[in-house]
Amino acid sequence: MRIGFDISQIAHPGGVATYTKSLAENLSKIKELEMVYFYSSLRRPFKGKLKGVKAFRLPPTLFEVLFNRVRNVPIEKFLGPLDIFHSSDWVQPPSKAKKVTTYHDVIPLKFPQWSHPKIVDVHKRRLKLVEKEIDMVIAVSESTKNDLLKLSNIPEEKITVIYEGVGNNFKPRSKERIEEFKKKYKLPDEFILAIGGVGERKNLKRIKQASKGFDLVITGETLSFIPDEDMPLLYSAASILLYPTLYEGFGLPVLESMACGTPVVTSYNSSIPEIAGKAVLFAKEDDVEDIKKRIEQAMDNGWRKDLIKEGLKQAAKFSWEKTAKETAEVYRKVLKG
């Protein structure tokens, strides 16, 4: 099978980039797949060890016009003949190949107030193409699948749920490594970790209110930049991950934190219950006092031991190797028709 895969999202840090990079690396290890990768970015040249990458120093906005609107240039012009093309969540190029795409979430469609109007327009435009042309949609959770069934005309038989994974580098770290890490970034001995983001979805206002009296570290705010390779140490160094999100398509920080042996306080909505199972403390995301109560609970030594144990057990159910194997199985089924 010759598979084309759009990995342009790697240029934009976040959960989608982690998915794209991790899936591409693991698909490249499956012998029956001949992988060729499409990458476009004006400002960020491709860096990595992936073989078969066709990189173009052009902005994604140009390809959005070319692939989603003009639509007179097939992806084969860039990648050569293909059996299957796996598109990103941004563009849906024309192709003679069978078509697979991944939906991480439906935020621009379900909560347009959280996205820029231009992004909402792009996703609406692309959804019409997906509904008309796609052979299979991969949804990263049952929650995302259910949202797609409510908000689109994609039939259920064309949606397959394949969970994301957690990298092997996310694991508990030694006290010595953690102490070195804290010194490097000038972090307090004990702190609550929160994941920053644009807009209100990450619930940072309530997180700050509920965390009064504790040292709070927020990625992108109090900790302005941390490279991906240091994230496992950041999770391991934190006393808890506080993640009372308003909505998630998957929720990688919850999974990554559990894999590092760090207790998690999160919200019971969207995809989170699927990912977290019974290994976390659930808080009412709109109730500051309830979030505060769960923080104090997670800090208690008796609760901590159980949360760490159950979190490690839950995280072990997910891997990028498993995600890649299930994705390859989708390719096989699509080709068989």
**95 in a structural domain:** yes
**pLDDT tens, residue by residue, 247-285:** 999 999 999 999 999 999 999 999 999 999 999 999 999
Clarify whether residues 90 and 218 are in a common domain. Answer: no
**196 in a structural domain:** yes
- Given a cut of 80, whether residue 198 has pLDDT beyond it is no
Q: Is the dihedral of CA 235, 172, 24, 280 positive or negative?
A: negative
Clarify whether residues 78 and 52 are in a common domain. Answer: yes
Give strand pairing partners of 84: 3, 98
Clarify whether residues 284 and 242 are in a common domain. Answer: yes
Clarify whether residues 128 and 206 are in a common domain. Answer: no
Q: How far are the Cα atoms of 67, 170, 310, 326 from residue 317, in angstroms, in the given order?
A: 37, 13, 11, 14
At 120 the pLDDT is 94
Q: How many CB atoms lie within 10 A of CB 82?
A: 22
Mean pLDDT of all residues in 31-46:
95
Q: How far are the Cα atoms of 6, 123, 181, 234, 245 from residue 256, in angstroms, in the given order?
A: 25, 28, 18, 11, 15
Clarify whether residues 115 and 67 are in a common domain. Answer: yes
CA-CA distance, 261 to 250, in Å (whole number)?
Answer: 19
Q: How confident is the model at residue 240 (pLDDT cuts 50, 70, 90)?
A: very high
**What is the H or E stretch that residue 58 is in?**
none
Range of the domain at 229: 175-315
**87 in a structural domain:** yes
CB 9 within 8 A of CB 102: no
Clarify whether residues 181 and 284 are in a common domain. Answer: yes
At 161 the pLDDT is 98
Clarify whether residues 307 and 211 are in a common domain. Answer: yes
Residue 239 phi/psi, 5-degree rounding, is: -70, -45
Clarify whether residues 179 and 54 are in a common domain. Answer: no
Mean pLDDT of all residues in 11-32:
95
CA-CA distance, 84 to 91, in Å (whole number)?
Answer: 15
- Given a cut of 90, whether residue 197 has pLDDT beyond it is no
Q: How far are the Cα atoms of 280, 299, 307, 316 from residue 303, in angstroms, in the given order?
A: 10, 7, 6, 20
**170 in a structural domain:** no
Of all residues in the chain, the percent with pLDDT exceeding 70 is 100
Clarify whether residues 13 and 150 are in a common domain. Answer: yes
| Residue 7, C-beta contacts closer than 8 angstroms, at least 6 positions apart | 20, 21, 24, 37, 38, 39, 50, 53, 88
At 178 the pLDDT is 97
Alpha-helical runs (H) found in the chain: 15-27, 60-63, 76-79, 107-110, 117-133, 142-151, 175-185, 204-210, 231-237, 252-259, 272-276, 288-299, 301-315, 320-336
Clarify whether residues 14 and 131 are in a common domain. Answer: yes
Clarify whether residues 331 and 291 are in a common domain. Answer: no
Average pLDDT over the chain reads 96
**pLDDT tens, residue by residue, 139-164:** 999 999 999 999 999 999 999 999 99
Dihedral, CA atoms, 91, 97, 103, 107, nearest 10 degrees?
Answer: 30
Mean pLDDT of all residues in 43-70:
92
At 4 the pLDDT is 98
At 186 the pLDDT is 95
At 280 the pLDDT is 98
SS3 297: helix
Clarify whether residues 147 and 192 are in a common domain. Answer: no
Q: How confident is the model at residue 172 (pLDDT cuts 50, 70, 90)?
A: very high
At 13 the pLDDT is 86
Q: Number of folded domains in the chain?
A: 2
Residue 286 is part of a domain; what is its CATH number? 3.40.50.2000
Q: How confident is the model at residue 106 (pLDDT cuts 50, 70, 90)?
A: very high
- Given a cut of 90, whether residue 60 has pLDDT beyond it is no
- Given a cut of 90, whether residue 126 has pLDDT beyond it is yes
